Amino acid sequence: MNIKSLKCVIGILTAVLLTFCAAASGSDFSSNGNDRKGKYIYRKNCRVCHDGSSASTLSPNSKTQAQWTRTFERHERLACADEWNNQSPAELNDVFSYLYVHAYDSVQPASCK
């Protein structure tokens, strides 16, 4: 293989890698889900632990919108990642919408008590 075609192969590999990284790091969540449904799902499937019994108390106003975005992007690292995987992507997006729309720095911050 000559230098020119080697450079070409490296170029293609870099492009493929960059595309892959961009896709992997993009956020899967947006706040245009159904926040009312999200509230219901959160109460049913998250608050069972996150009411201060077996895990920390969590409400929409526990975090800012930026913090919720970060938390959802990295949810695989949480202690309860398995619980998240029991929800469908659409359900998680609804939960995200509920938490985000009522976050600490939102126009209508809410606790879920």
Instruction: Answer for the pair 94, 38: CB distance below 8 angstroms, yes or no.
Output: yes
* CB count in 10 Å sphere of residue 56: 9
102 near ligand HEC, rule: CB under 6 A: no
Q: How many residues contact ligand HEC, by CB under 6 A?
A: 17
Q: Which stretch binds ligand HEC (CB under 6 A): 2-10, 21-29, 77-85, 103-111?
A: 77-85
Distances (CA, A) of 68 to 11, 18, 58, 99, 103: 37, 26, 11, 7, 8
71 near ligand HEC, rule: CB under 6 A: yes
Binding ligand HEC by CB under 6 A: which of 40, 51, 55, 104? 55
* CB count in 10 Å sphere of residue 82: 8
18 near ligand HEC, rule: CB under 6 A: no
Binding ligand HEC by CB under 6 A: which of 49, 61, 73, 104? 49
Q: Give CA–CA dist 107/104, Å, rounded.
A: 9
Binding ligand HEC by CB under 6 A: which of 37, 51, 73, 83? 83
For residue 41, give the amino acid letter.
I
Q: List residues near ligand HEC by CB under 6 A.
A: 45-46, 48-50, 54-56, 58, 71, 78-80, 83-84, 87, 95
